[in-house]
Protein backbone atom coordinates (compact mmCIF):
# COMPACT_ATOMS: atom_id res chain seq x y z
CA UNK A 1 0.00 0.00 0.00
CA UNK A 2 1.34 3.40 -0.98
CA UNK A 3 1.31 5.91 1.87
CA UNK A 4 -0.61 9.03 0.87
CA UNK A 5 -0.85 12.01 3.24
CA UNK A 6 -2.44 15.36 2.65
CA UNK A 7 -2.22 18.90 3.87
CA UNK A 8 -5.57 20.61 3.35
CA UNK A 9 -5.44 24.25 4.48
CA UNK A 10 -8.13 26.87 4.04
CA UNK A 11 -7.02 30.03 2.16
CA UNK A 12 -7.99 32.44 4.92
CA UNK A 13 -4.78 34.44 5.40
CA UNK A 14 -1.29 33.81 6.66
CA UNK A 15 0.02 30.37 7.55
CA UNK A 16 -0.29 29.60 11.27
CA UNK A 17 2.71 27.86 12.82
CA UNK A 18 0.44 25.00 13.83
CA UNK A 19 -0.54 24.58 10.19
CA UNK A 20 3.08 24.63 9.06
CA UNK A 21 3.90 21.91 11.59
CA UNK A 22 0.93 19.83 10.41
CA UNK A 23 2.16 20.15 6.83
CA UNK A 24 5.69 19.24 7.95
CA UNK A 25 4.65 16.06 9.74
CA UNK A 26 2.52 14.99 6.76
CA UNK A 27 5.44 15.67 4.43
CA UNK A 28 7.98 13.86 6.61
CA UNK A 29 5.80 10.79 7.04
CA UNK A 30 5.05 10.52 3.32
CA UNK A 31 8.69 10.88 2.34
CA UNK A 32 9.92 8.54 5.09
CA UNK A 33 7.62 5.86 3.64
CA UNK A 34 8.35 6.67 -0.01
CA UNK A 35 4.76 7.81 -0.43
CA UNK A 36 2.99 10.87 -1.77
CA UNK A 37 2.36 14.24 -0.10
CA UNK A 38 -0.79 15.90 -1.47
CA UNK A 39 -1.77 19.56 -1.21
CA UNK A 40 -5.51 20.25 -1.29
CA UNK A 41 -7.06 23.69 -0.90
CA UNK A 42 -10.24 23.58 1.16
CA UNK A 43 -12.12 26.73 0.21
CA UNK A 44 -15.69 25.67 0.89
CA UNK A 45 -16.09 28.52 3.40
CA UNK A 46 -16.26 31.33 0.87
CA UNK A 47 -17.04 33.95 3.52
CA UNK A 48 -13.59 33.48 5.06
CA UNK A 49 -11.72 33.28 1.76
CA UNK A 50 -8.88 35.80 1.47
CA UNK A 51 -7.61 36.85 -1.96
CA UNK A 52 -4.01 35.79 -2.45
CA UNK A 53 -4.02 33.37 0.50
CA UNK A 54 -3.54 30.34 -1.76
CA UNK A 55 -0.30 31.84 -3.05
CA UNK A 56 0.79 32.38 0.55
CA UNK A 57 0.29 28.64 1.14
CA UNK A 58 2.31 27.76 -1.97
CA UNK A 59 5.11 30.19 -1.13
CA UNK A 60 5.35 29.10 2.51
CA UNK A 61 5.51 25.38 1.80
CA UNK A 62 8.07 25.83 -0.96
CA UNK A 63 10.19 28.17 1.15
CA UNK A 64 10.23 25.50 3.85
CA UNK A 65 11.31 22.79 1.42
CA UNK A 66 7.99 20.92 1.40
CA UNK A 67 7.28 20.33 -2.27
CA UNK A 68 4.02 18.46 -2.86
CA UNK A 69 3.62 15.58 -5.28
CA UNK A 70 0.06 16.43 -6.29
CA UNK A 71 -1.84 19.66 -5.95
CA UNK A 72 -3.73 22.50 -7.63
CA UNK A 73 -0.77 23.80 -9.59
CA UNK A 74 0.69 20.38 -10.37
CA UNK A 75 -2.29 18.21 -11.09
CA UNK A 76 -2.40 14.48 -10.50
CA UNK A 77 -4.73 11.55 -10.97
CA UNK A 78 -7.19 12.69 -8.30
CA UNK A 79 -7.90 16.32 -9.17
CA UNK A 80 -9.18 18.91 -9.07
CA UNK A 81 -7.29 19.72 -5.86
CA UNK A 82 -9.36 22.81 -4.95
CA UNK A 83 -12.63 21.95 -3.23
CA UNK A 84 -14.70 24.70 -4.86
CA UNK A 85 -13.76 23.18 -8.23
CA UNK A 86 -15.04 19.81 -7.00
CA UNK A 87 -18.49 21.14 -6.08
CA UNK A 88 -20.47 18.88 -8.48
CA UNK A 89 -19.03 15.80 -6.75
CA UNK A 90 -20.55 16.26 -3.32
CA UNK A 91 -24.34 16.49 -3.74
CA UNK A 92 -24.67 13.05 -5.38
CA UNK A 93 -22.82 11.50 -2.43
CA UNK A 94 -25.09 13.32 0.01
CA UNK A 95 -28.14 12.00 -1.85
CA UNK A 96 -26.73 8.48 -1.58
CA UNK A 97 -26.69 8.94 2.19
CA UNK A 98 -30.29 10.16 2.14
CA UNK A 99 -31.31 6.98 0.32
CA UNK A 100 -29.48 4.91 2.96
CA UNK A 101 -31.19 6.80 5.80
CA UNK A 102 -27.82 8.18 6.92
CA UNK A 103 -28.75 11.78 6.02
CA UNK A 104 -31.86 13.89 5.48
CA UNK A 105 -33.09 17.19 4.09
CA UNK A 106 -33.49 19.98 6.64
CA UNK A 107 -35.68 23.01 5.83
CA UNK A 108 -35.41 24.81 9.18
CA UNK A 109 -34.70 28.50 8.78
CA UNK A 110 -31.91 30.38 10.51
CA UNK A 111 -34.50 32.19 12.62
CA UNK A 112 -36.04 28.93 13.79
CA UNK A 113 -32.65 27.50 14.67
CA UNK A 114 -31.64 30.65 16.54
CA UNK A 115 -34.87 30.47 18.55
CA UNK A 116 -34.24 26.84 19.52
CA UNK A 117 -30.61 27.58 20.33
CA UNK A 118 -31.64 30.43 22.63
CA UNK A 119 -34.20 28.19 24.35
CA UNK A 120 -31.56 25.50 24.91
CA UNK A 121 -29.16 28.04 26.38
CA UNK A 122 -31.93 29.33 28.66
CA UNK A 123 -32.32 25.79 29.97
CA UNK A 124 -28.57 25.56 30.49
CA UNK A 125 -28.19 22.96 27.75
CA UNK A 126 -25.76 22.66 24.84
CA UNK A 127 -27.75 23.11 21.66
CA UNK A 128 -28.06 20.15 19.31
CA UNK A 129 -30.26 19.96 16.29
CA UNK A 130 -33.41 18.11 17.36
CA UNK A 131 -33.92 16.08 14.16
CA UNK A 132 -37.10 18.04 13.48
CA UNK A 133 -36.95 17.56 9.72
CA UNK A 134 -36.07 13.88 9.98
CA UNK A 135 -39.73 13.34 10.85
CA UNK A 136 -41.03 14.85 7.58
CA UNK A 137 -42.69 12.37 5.26
CA UNK A 138 -41.31 11.74 1.78
CA UNK A 139 -44.29 13.61 0.39
CA UNK A 140 -43.65 16.64 2.59
CA UNK A 141 -39.98 16.66 1.63
CA UNK A 142 -40.78 16.37 -2.09
CA UNK A 143 -43.33 19.17 -1.89
CA UNK A 144 -40.82 21.50 -0.26
CA UNK A 145 -38.16 20.63 -2.82
CA UNK A 146 -40.55 21.27 -5.71
CA UNK A 147 -41.56 24.57 -4.11
CA UNK A 148 -37.92 25.65 -4.03
CA UNK A 149 -37.77 25.87 -0.23
CA UNK A 150 -34.13 26.42 0.83
CA UNK A 151 -32.59 23.41 2.52
CA UNK A 152 -29.44 21.87 3.89
CA UNK A 153 -28.61 18.19 4.07
CA UNK A 154 -27.84 16.90 7.55
CA UNK A 155 -26.19 13.73 8.75
CA UNK A 156 -28.40 11.39 10.74
CA UNK A 157 -26.31 10.50 13.80
CA UNK A 158 -27.38 7.79 16.25
CA UNK A 159 -28.48 8.99 19.68
CA UNK A 160 -27.62 5.87 21.68
CA UNK A 161 -24.56 3.72 22.10
CA UNK A 162 -20.92 4.63 21.70
CA UNK A 163 -18.46 5.22 18.88
CA UNK A 164 -14.81 4.20 19.15
CA UNK A 165 -11.72 4.51 17.03
CA UNK A 166 -7.95 4.23 17.38
CA UNK A 167 -5.58 7.15 17.00
CA UNK A 168 -1.80 6.83 16.58
CA UNK A 169 -1.18 9.55 19.18
CA UNK A 170 -4.11 9.32 21.61
CA UNK A 171 -4.78 5.60 21.49
CA UNK A 172 -8.24 4.04 21.78
CA UNK A 173 -10.96 6.69 22.08
CA UNK A 174 -14.63 6.34 22.97
CA UNK A 175 -17.41 8.90 22.49
CA UNK A 176 -21.07 8.58 23.57
CA UNK A 177 -23.28 8.98 20.53
CA UNK A 178 -25.76 11.21 22.34
CA UNK A 179 -23.11 13.96 22.23
CA UNK A 180 -22.97 13.93 18.44
CA UNK A 181 -24.84 16.60 16.50
CA UNK A 182 -26.49 16.07 13.13
CA UNK A 183 -23.91 18.15 11.28
CA UNK A 184 -24.69 19.86 8.00
CA UNK A 185 -23.21 18.10 4.97
CA UNK A 186 -24.47 20.35 2.15
CA UNK A 187 -25.16 24.04 2.77
CA UNK A 188 -28.02 26.07 1.27
CA UNK A 189 -25.69 27.36 -1.47
CA UNK A 190 -24.96 23.79 -2.57
CA UNK A 191 -21.41 23.87 -1.23
CA UNK A 192 -20.31 21.05 1.05
CA UNK A 193 -19.20 21.76 4.58
CA UNK A 194 -15.61 21.05 5.49
CA UNK A 195 -16.75 18.08 7.56
CA UNK A 196 -18.36 16.40 4.58
CA UNK A 197 -15.98 17.41 1.81
CA UNK A 198 -12.85 16.24 3.64
CA UNK A 199 -14.25 12.72 4.00
CA UNK A 200 -15.28 12.50 0.34
CA UNK A 201 -12.00 13.97 -0.86
CA UNK A 202 -9.81 11.89 1.42
CA UNK A 203 -11.47 8.74 0.11
CA UNK A 204 -11.41 9.73 -3.56
CA UNK A 205 -7.77 10.83 -3.31
CA UNK A 206 -6.73 7.60 -1.63
CA UNK A 207 -5.48 9.24 1.56
CA UNK A 208 -4.15 6.52 3.85
CA UNK A 209 -3.12 8.63 6.86
CA UNK A 210 -5.06 11.65 8.09
CA UNK A 211 -2.71 13.82 10.14
CA UNK A 212 -4.42 16.92 11.53
CA UNK A 213 -4.98 18.97 14.68
CA UNK A 214 -6.49 17.45 17.79
CA UNK A 215 -9.48 19.80 17.54
CA UNK A 216 -10.93 17.15 15.21
CA UNK A 217 -10.74 14.34 17.75
CA UNK A 218 -14.40 14.66 18.75
CA UNK A 219 -15.60 15.04 15.14
CA UNK A 220 -13.88 11.90 13.92
CA UNK A 221 -16.66 9.52 15.04
CA UNK A 222 -19.01 11.34 12.66
CA UNK A 223 -16.47 11.06 9.87
CA UNK A 224 -16.20 7.34 10.52
CA UNK A 225 -19.99 7.02 10.33
CA UNK A 226 -19.80 8.52 6.85
CA UNK A 227 -17.05 6.09 5.81
CA UNK A 228 -19.09 3.20 7.13
CA UNK A 229 -22.28 4.40 5.44
CA UNK A 230 -20.49 4.40 2.10
CA UNK A 231 -18.73 1.12 2.82
CA UNK A 232 -15.30 2.78 2.51
CA UNK A 233 -12.07 1.91 4.30
CA UNK A 234 -11.30 4.26 7.18
CA UNK A 235 -7.83 5.88 7.04
CA UNK A 236 -5.38 5.80 9.92
CA UNK A 237 -5.71 8.82 12.20
CA UNK A 238 -2.84 10.84 13.61
CA UNK A 239 -4.17 13.76 15.64
CA UNK A 240 -1.56 16.34 16.56
CA UNK A 241 -1.48 18.30 19.79
CA UNK A 242 -1.84 22.08 19.79
CA UNK A 243 1.21 24.32 19.45
CA UNK A 244 1.15 26.51 22.57
CA UNK A 245 3.07 29.59 23.70
CA UNK A 246 3.10 28.15 27.22
CA UNK A 247 1.07 25.71 29.28
CA UNK A 248 -1.95 28.03 29.34
CA UNK A 249 -1.79 30.24 26.24
CA UNK A 250 -2.05 29.52 22.54
CA UNK A 251 0.03 31.37 20.02
CA UNK A 252 -1.78 34.55 19.10
CA UNK A 253 -1.84 37.09 16.30
CA UNK A 254 -1.95 39.88 18.88
CA UNK A 255 1.37 38.77 20.37
CA UNK A 256 2.96 38.42 16.95
CA UNK A 257 3.85 34.76 17.44
CA UNK A 258 1.11 32.90 15.57
CA UNK A 259 2.16 32.99 11.94
CA UNK A 260 5.14 31.67 10.01
CA UNK A 261 5.52 35.08 8.37
CA UNK A 262 5.75 36.77 11.79
CA UNK A 263 9.04 35.02 12.43
CA UNK A 264 10.42 35.34 8.92
CA UNK A 265 9.72 39.08 9.00
CA UNK A 266 11.60 39.33 12.30
CA UNK A 267 14.63 37.75 10.71
CA UNK A 268 14.47 34.11 11.75
CA UNK A 269 15.91 31.67 9.23
CA UNK A 270 13.36 29.29 7.74
CA UNK A 271 15.74 26.37 8.25
CA UNK A 272 16.00 27.12 11.97
CA UNK A 273 12.24 27.60 12.26
CA UNK A 274 11.43 24.30 10.55
CA UNK A 275 14.08 22.42 12.53
CA UNK A 276 12.75 23.75 15.83
CA UNK A 277 9.08 23.38 14.86
CA UNK A 278 9.66 19.69 14.10
CA UNK A 279 10.70 19.21 17.73
CA UNK A 280 7.60 20.93 19.13
CA UNK A 281 5.51 17.81 19.67
CA UNK A 282 7.95 15.17 18.42
CA UNK A 283 11.29 13.87 19.61
CA UNK A 284 13.83 11.77 17.73
CA UNK A 285 14.48 9.46 20.67
CA UNK A 286 18.00 10.76 21.33
CA UNK A 287 19.73 14.03 22.19
CA UNK A 288 20.03 15.32 18.63
CA UNK A 289 18.61 18.78 18.04
CA UNK A 290 19.89 19.91 14.65
CA UNK A 291 18.46 18.33 11.51
CA UNK A 292 18.41 19.06 7.83
CA UNK A 293 15.16 18.25 6.05
CA UNK A 294 16.65 14.99 4.74
CA UNK A 295 17.74 14.07 8.26
CA UNK A 296 14.26 14.82 9.60
CA UNK A 297 12.76 12.53 6.97
CA UNK A 298 15.12 9.74 8.00
CA UNK A 299 14.48 10.20 11.73
CA UNK A 300 10.73 10.89 11.72
CA UNK A 301 8.52 8.31 13.44
CA UNK A 302 4.87 8.94 14.33
CA UNK A 303 5.31 6.65 17.34
CA UNK A 304 7.41 9.43 18.88
CA UNK A 305 4.74 12.13 18.58
CA UNK A 306 3.74 13.53 21.96
CA UNK A 307 0.18 13.56 23.30
CA UNK A 308 0.87 16.64 25.44
CA UNK A 309 0.67 20.17 24.02
CA UNK A 310 3.79 21.29 22.19
CA UNK A 311 5.32 24.37 23.81
CA UNK A 312 6.76 26.80 21.29
CA UNK A 313 9.56 28.43 23.29
CA UNK A 314 10.65 31.56 21.43
CA UNK A 315 13.86 31.75 23.47
CA UNK A 316 14.78 28.23 22.36
CA UNK A 317 13.95 29.12 18.76
CA UNK A 318 16.20 32.18 19.07
CA UNK A 319 19.03 29.97 20.28
CA UNK A 320 18.47 27.67 17.31
CA UNK A 321 18.45 30.65 14.99
CA UNK A 322 21.71 32.03 16.35
CA UNK A 323 23.37 28.67 15.81
CA UNK A 324 22.12 28.54 12.23
CA UNK A 325 23.30 32.10 11.55
CA UNK A 326 26.79 31.32 12.84
CA UNK A 327 27.00 28.40 10.42
CA UNK A 328 26.01 30.47 7.37
CA UNK A 329 28.69 30.97 4.71
CA UNK A 330 29.94 34.51 5.23
CA UNK A 331 28.85 35.77 1.81
CA UNK A 332 25.33 34.51 2.47
CA UNK A 333 25.28 36.18 5.89
CA UNK A 334 26.50 39.45 4.38
CA UNK A 335 23.73 39.34 1.79
CA UNK A 336 21.09 38.65 4.42
CA UNK A 337 22.30 41.21 6.96
CA UNK A 338 22.78 44.09 4.52
CA UNK A 339 19.09 45.17 4.45
CA UNK A 340 19.14 45.23 8.26
CA UNK A 341 22.30 47.36 8.27
CA UNK A 342 20.52 49.71 5.86
CA UNK A 343 17.64 50.17 8.30
CA UNK A 344 20.00 51.77 10.82
CA UNK A 345 22.84 53.06 8.67
CA UNK A 346 21.17 54.05 5.38
CA UNK A 347 22.80 57.11 3.85
CA UNK A 348 26.07 56.62 5.74
CA UNK A 349 29.20 55.02 4.34
CA UNK A 350 30.49 52.10 6.36
CA UNK A 351 32.52 49.02 5.59
CA UNK A 352 29.60 46.57 5.62
CA UNK A 353 31.90 43.61 5.01
CA UNK A 354 33.97 44.33 8.10
CA UNK A 355 30.88 45.12 10.15
CA UNK A 356 29.33 41.82 9.08
CA UNK A 357 32.47 39.95 10.11
CA UNK A 358 32.11 41.46 13.57
CA UNK A 359 28.35 40.87 13.74
CA UNK A 360 27.86 37.30 12.49
CA UNK A 361 28.77 35.58 15.75
CA UNK A 362 26.68 38.11 17.70
CA UNK A 363 23.52 37.92 15.61
CA UNK A 364 20.67 35.95 17.13
CA UNK A 365 17.78 37.35 15.10
CA UNK A 366 18.23 39.75 12.21
CA UNK A 367 15.68 42.31 13.43
CA UNK A 368 17.91 42.95 16.44
CA UNK A 369 20.80 44.03 14.22
CA UNK A 370 19.72 47.66 13.66
CA UNK A 371 19.73 48.42 17.38
CA UNK A 372 23.13 46.79 17.73
CA UNK A 373 24.78 48.95 15.06
CA UNK A 374 22.81 52.19 15.35
CA UNK A 375 25.49 53.63 17.64
CA UNK A 376 27.65 54.06 14.54
CA UNK A 377 25.40 56.89 13.37
CA UNK A 378 23.87 58.00 16.66
CA UNK A 379 26.23 58.24 19.61
CA UNK A 380 24.03 57.32 22.58
CA UNK A 381 23.92 59.28 25.79
CA UNK A 382 25.81 57.39 28.45
CA UNK A 383 26.60 57.60 32.14
CA UNK A 384 30.16 58.03 33.40
CA UNK A 385 29.64 54.86 35.44
CA UNK A 386 30.42 52.96 32.24
CA UNK A 387 34.06 53.88 32.74
CA UNK A 388 34.07 51.89 35.98
CA UNK A 389 35.40 48.44 35.22
CA UNK A 390 36.90 46.33 38.00
CA UNK A 391 38.51 43.88 35.61
CA UNK A 392 40.21 46.64 33.64
CA UNK A 393 40.81 48.69 36.80
CA UNK A 394 39.31 51.80 35.26
CA UNK A 395 37.17 54.67 36.49
CA UNK A 396 36.47 58.21 35.21
CA UNK A 397 39.80 59.49 36.52
CA UNK A 398 41.74 56.72 34.84
CA UNK A 399 39.71 57.33 31.70
CA UNK A 400 40.74 61.01 31.57
CA UNK A 401 44.40 60.06 31.76
CA UNK A 402 44.07 57.32 29.16
CA UNK A 403 42.10 59.42 26.68
CA UNK A 404 44.57 62.28 27.09
CA UNK A 405 47.30 59.79 26.20
CA UNK A 406 45.58 58.28 23.18
CA UNK A 407 44.11 61.43 21.59
CA UNK A 408 47.32 62.79 20.01
CA UNK A 409 48.24 59.26 18.95
CA UNK A 410 45.00 58.95 16.99
CA UNK A 411 45.35 62.46 15.58
CA UNK A 412 48.74 61.53 14.19
CA UNK A 413 47.56 58.46 12.27
CA UNK A 414 47.38 59.12 8.52
CA UNK A 415 46.68 55.60 7.26
CA UNK A 416 43.32 55.00 8.98
CA UNK A 417 43.28 51.24 8.54
CA UNK A 418 42.25 48.93 11.33
CA UNK A 419 45.67 47.27 11.42
CA UNK A 420 47.50 50.58 11.56
CA UNK A 421 45.23 51.96 14.29
CA UNK A 422 45.88 48.80 16.29
CA UNK A 423 49.66 48.82 15.88
CA UNK A 424 50.08 52.56 16.53
CA UNK A 425 47.89 52.66 19.64
CA UNK A 426 49.31 49.45 21.09
CA UNK A 427 52.85 50.81 20.67
CA UNK A 428 51.88 54.00 22.49
CA UNK A 429 50.28 52.02 25.34
CA UNK A 430 53.39 49.86 25.71
CA UNK A 431 55.59 52.93 25.78
CA UNK A 432 53.41 54.55 28.46
CA UNK A 433 53.64 51.56 30.75
CA UNK A 434 49.86 51.38 31.14
CA UNK A 435 47.84 48.18 31.00
CA UNK A 436 46.08 47.61 27.69
CA UNK A 437 42.64 47.46 29.26
CA UNK A 438 43.16 50.69 31.16
CA UNK A 439 43.34 52.51 27.83
CA UNK A 440 41.22 50.43 25.48
CA UNK A 441 38.14 50.20 27.74
CA UNK A 442 37.85 53.99 28.17
CA UNK A 443 38.48 54.45 24.43
CA UNK A 444 35.67 52.01 23.54
CA UNK A 445 33.26 53.85 25.87
CA UNK A 446 34.35 57.27 24.63
CA UNK A 447 33.70 56.56 20.95
CA UNK A 448 30.70 54.20 21.23
CA UNK A 449 28.86 55.11 24.45
CA UNK A 450 28.30 51.39 25.00
CA UNK A 451 29.83 48.67 27.12
CA UNK A 452 28.94 45.97 24.60
CA UNK A 453 29.72 46.49 20.93
CA UNK A 454 30.54 44.43 17.85
CA UNK A 455 34.31 44.56 18.05
CA UNK A 456 36.51 46.59 20.34
CA UNK A 457 37.99 50.07 20.27
CA UNK A 458 40.12 49.51 17.16
CA UNK A 459 37.31 48.02 15.07
CA UNK A 460 34.90 50.77 16.10
CA UNK A 461 37.42 53.52 15.37
CA UNK A 462 38.06 52.06 11.93
CA UNK A 463 34.36 51.80 11.13
CA UNK A 464 33.63 55.33 12.33
CA UNK A 465 36.50 56.88 10.42
CA UNK A 466 39.10 59.29 11.76
CA UNK A 467 36.99 62.44 11.77
CA UNK A 468 34.03 60.93 13.62
CA UNK A 469 36.28 59.03 16.04
CA UNK A 470 38.08 62.22 17.06
CA UNK A 471 34.83 64.18 17.26
CA UNK A 472 33.37 61.62 19.67
CA UNK A 473 36.61 61.40 21.61
CA UNK A 474 36.72 65.17 22.13
CA UNK A 475 33.07 65.21 23.18
CA UNK A 476 33.63 62.45 25.71
CA UNK A 477 36.72 64.14 27.14
CA UNK A 478 34.69 67.33 27.59
CA UNK A 479 32.02 65.29 29.35
CA UNK A 480 34.61 63.82 31.70
CA UNK A 481 36.09 67.25 32.50
CA UNK A 482 32.69 68.85 33.03
CA UNK A 483 31.38 66.10 35.28
CA UNK A 484 34.62 65.62 37.23
How far is residue 460's CA from residue 449's CA, in Å, rounded to a whole number?
Answer: 11
Confirm if 165 and 237 have CB atoms less than 8 A apart.
Answer: yes
Active-site residue flag, 253? yes
Whether the bond into 80 is cis, omega within 30 of 0: yes
What residues form DSSP beta bridges with 38? 6, 70
Burial of 111 (0-12, 13-18, 19+ CB in 10 A): exposed
What residues form DSSP beta bridges with 282? 305
Question: Of 253, 335, 348, 393, which residue is the catalytic one?
Answer: 253
- Using only C-alpha atoms, what is the Rg of the chain? 32
Active site residues: 253
Amino acid sequence: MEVRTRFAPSPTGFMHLGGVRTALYNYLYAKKNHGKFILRIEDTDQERYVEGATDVIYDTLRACGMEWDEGPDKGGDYGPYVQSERKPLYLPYAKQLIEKGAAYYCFCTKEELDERRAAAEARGEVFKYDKHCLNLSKEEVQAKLEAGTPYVIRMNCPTTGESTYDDEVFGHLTFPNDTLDDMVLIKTDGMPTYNFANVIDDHLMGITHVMRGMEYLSSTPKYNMLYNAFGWEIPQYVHLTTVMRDAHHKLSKRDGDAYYSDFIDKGYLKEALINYLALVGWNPGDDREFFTMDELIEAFDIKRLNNAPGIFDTDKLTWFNAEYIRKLPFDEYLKMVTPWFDKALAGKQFDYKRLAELMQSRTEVFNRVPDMVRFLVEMPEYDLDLYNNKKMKTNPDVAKESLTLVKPVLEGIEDWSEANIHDTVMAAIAESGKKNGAVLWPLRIAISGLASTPGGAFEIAYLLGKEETLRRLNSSMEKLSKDA
